[in-house]
């Protein structure tokens, strides 16, 4: 062969290799194709690529031309410095052997090469002074062009190096992302799994048992209980302990929105479906596909909207507002309410069919006064939680806990949490003692009965008052301080805020 014929071969091969490297495929496929091109166009046979395994530092054979399969169960490996390939990697220099049989370091682990022919092995560079692997091949004869052939193989190795580097970078990114995702999932599980729900009392143990049972299935769950008893917390514990845990957990507070907004929130809307619908939007049902949808305060949904809900619960089908295209969703429903749904069904305010749809598996959250034995653990747990938020160590004394145990907690765990947070703010040294525990005045005199007593004294209990008048009366009594009025009515601040909105009470600003 003359020099110009050799250059023709090399140019044709380079063209092939560059085409292979610029088309998207996995690293393994790319290497196979490059070796194939070297064989078919470049007169370089029995090509082989081995790459350094980042975990062990050993050279693993990744691609061989001339043998159909690489046994994945027993990868062929060379340690640094071992054999001819190990030597190339260790020195970072090419090794050109005119006749393989003459080289005592040749190990012949692959049983691939012709021992009468030359072998060219070149390093694949990872960066300055760093090598990611070795490329080797056999030319069909030993002639004067051997140094030229070796130089050409080095060029190919340099081209391959970029693909290897890219693939490794991708792999590193993938591993980092996976690790981050897994650790985030652990955190989420820690925050929303069972660990974050405190309670050793019998009633709470029963709740845990029910959650454990129901989490496995797609059953609709209805969580009942007074405000602040942990309904939302239990809903997330069910989701994160269910087979849907890796799917989305979507929440919606049904009490917070008027019907038309509730509809577009839940079902989504098409662009231009109503004034203000500037773009198409997915509803919560769609967002919760393959996950769980938590419908909070379901007892507050209007009768008209109850019909719409019933359909999607029964059929799993819905249309976006302004669209006639029917969508199917696979969503597990968890609903919660602090209302007495049975009475509302009897009064005709809540549809009976929807009630039965939702009430497949009811879970009743016990109030805190039904389980005072949980107060010490809860208090310590909540103090830890507040300490994390405030970024400083906090503790609560035994005498403070004894005081807390005597309280009635009409606002349940949320009230306890707020009370401890106030205490934490008041204790500069970070030790919450009884002197900084401030239980709302009324209840301190004797819990619920004191509230009732006060309601009576102030005329809030007058049977002639309707709901709106009662709320207004309480607001008057409280000098229009909503939190105070809420206490008078035995409500949470959120509940009174909601009532003020729905009963269309104009709040007087002081
Ligand atoms: N058993 C519990 N262990 C630890 N924290 C709890 C527990 N129960 C409730 N909490 C905490 O108390 C607060 C109120 O809980 P959550 O919001 O789940 O109550 P809720 O029943 O949904 O109240 P509402 O009816 O007012 O919406 C949350 O901060 C929650 O983390
Ligand atoms: Mg809630």
How far is the C-alpha of 461 from the C-alpha of 475, rounded, in Å? 14
Contact 291, 333 (CB under 8 A): no
Q: What is the pLDDT of residue 304?
A: 86
Ligand 1 atom closest to Cα of residue 229: 21
Mean per-residue pLDDT, 329-352: 93
Q: Choose which residue among 229, 234, 339, 385 to substitute to test ligand 1 binding: the one with the highest number of ligand atoms within 8 A of its C-beta.
A: 229
- Which residue CA neighbors atom 29 of ligand 1 most closely? 414
For residue 252, the CA-to-ligand 2 centroid distance in Å is 10
pLDDT at 294 over 60: yes
Give the number of other CB atoms < 10 A from CB of residue 149. Answer: 23
Maximum CA pair distance of the chain? 114
For residue 230, the CA-to-ligand 1 centroid distance in Å is 3
For residue 411, the CA-to-ligand 1 centroid distance in Å is 10
For residue 235, the CA-to-ligand 2 centroid distance in Å is 9
Tell me the C-alpha to C-alpha distance, in Å, between residue 425 and each of 249, 340, 484. Answer: 33, 36, 20
pLDDT at 41 over 90: yes
Contact 468, 460 (CB under 8 A): no
Q: Which residues does 299 contact at the CB level (< 8 Å), separation at least 6? A: 337, 338, 339, 341, 344, 350
pLDDT at 448 over 60: no
In terms of pTM, does the model score above 0.85?
no
Tell me the C-alpha to C-alpha distance, in Å, between residue 5 and each of 39, 178, 200. Answer: 16, 51, 86
- Which residue CA neighbors atom 26 of ligand 1 most closely? 227
Q: What is the pLDDT of residue 443?
A: 44
Q: For residue 367, what pLDDT band results from cuts at 50, 70 and 90?
A: very high
pLDDT at 446 over 50: no
pLDDT of 213-224, one tens digit each? 999 999 999 999
Mean per-residue pLDDT, 466-486: 83
Please return the burial class of 405, using the count of CB atoms within 10 Å of its CB with bins 0-12, 13-18 and 19+. middle
What percentage of the chain carries pLDDT values higher than 90? 49
- In this predicted model, which residue has the larger pLDDT, 248 or 461? 248
pLDDT at 359 over 80: yes
- Which residue CA neighbors atom 31 of ligand 1 most closely? 233
Q: What is the pLDDT of residue 187?
A: 67
Q: What is the pLDDT of residue 444?
A: 44
The mean predicted confidence, pLDDT, of the chain is 86
For residue 423, the CA-to-ligand 2 centroid distance in Å is 23
Q: Which residues does 131 contact at the CB level (< 8 Å), separation at least 6? A: 52, 89, 92, 123, 124, 125
């Amino acid at each position: 062969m003359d020099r110009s014929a050799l250059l023709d071969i090399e140019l044709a091969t380079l063209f092939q290799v560059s085409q292979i490297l610029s088309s998207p495929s996995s690293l393994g496929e790319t290497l196979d194709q490059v070796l194939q091109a070297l064989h078919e166009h470049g007169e370089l046979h029995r090509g082989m690529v081995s790459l350094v395994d980042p975990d062990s530092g050993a050279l693993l054979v990744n691609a061989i031309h001339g043998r159909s399969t690489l046994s994945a169960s027993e990868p062929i490996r060379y340690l640094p410095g071992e054999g001819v390939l190990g030597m190339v990697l260790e020195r970072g220099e090419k090794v050109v052997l005119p006749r393989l049989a003459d080289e005592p370091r040749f190990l012949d682990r692959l049983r691939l090469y012709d021992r009468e022919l030359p072998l060219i092995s070149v390093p694949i560079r990872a960066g300055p002074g760093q090598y990611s692997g070795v490329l080797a091949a056999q030319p069909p004869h030993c002639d004067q062009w051997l140094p030229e052939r070796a130089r050409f193989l080095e060029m190919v190795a340099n081209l391959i190096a970029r693909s290897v580097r890219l693939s490794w970078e991708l792999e590193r990114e993938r591993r980092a992302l996976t690790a981050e995702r897994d650790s985030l999932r652990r955190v989420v599980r820690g925050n929303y799994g069972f660990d974050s729900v405190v309670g050793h009392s019998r009633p709470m143990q029963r709740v845990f048992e029910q959650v454990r049972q129901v989490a496995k299935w797609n059953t609709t769950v209805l969580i009942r209980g007074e405000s602040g008893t942990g309904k939302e917390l239990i809903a997330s514990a069910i989701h994160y302990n269910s087979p849907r845990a890796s799917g989305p957990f979507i929440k919606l507070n049904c009490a917070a929105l008027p019907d038309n907004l509730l509809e577009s929130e839940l079902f989504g809307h098409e662009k231009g479906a109503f004034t203000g619908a500037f773009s198409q939007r997915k509803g919560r049902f769609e967002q919760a596909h393959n996950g769980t949808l938590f419908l909070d305060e379901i007892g507050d949904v209007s009768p008209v909207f109850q019909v719409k809900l019933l359909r999607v619960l029964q059929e799993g089908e819905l249309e976006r507002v302004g669209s006639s295209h029917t969508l199917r969703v696979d969503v597990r429903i968890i609903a919660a309410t602090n209302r007495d749904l049975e009475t509302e069904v009897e009064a005709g305010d809540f549809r009976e069919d929807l009630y039965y749809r939702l009430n497949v598996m009811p879970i009743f959250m016990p109030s805190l006064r039904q389980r005072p034995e949980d107060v010490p653990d809860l208090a310590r747990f909540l103090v830890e939680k507040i300490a994390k938020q405030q970024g400083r160590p906090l503790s609560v004394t035994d005498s403070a806990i004894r005081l807390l145990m005597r309280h009635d907690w009409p606002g349940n765990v949320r009230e306890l949490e707020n009370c401890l947070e106030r205490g934490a703010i008041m204790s500069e040294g970070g030790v919450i003692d009884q002197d900084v525990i401030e239980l709302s005045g009324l209840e301190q005199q004797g819990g619920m009965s004191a509230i009732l007593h006060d309601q009576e004294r102030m005329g809030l209990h007058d049977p002639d008052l309707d709901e709106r008048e009662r709320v207004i009366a309480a607001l008057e009594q409280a000098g229009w301080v909503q939190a105070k009025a809420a206490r008078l009515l035995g409500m949470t601040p959120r509940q009174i805020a909601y009532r003020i909105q729905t009963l269309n009470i104009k709040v007087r600003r002081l």
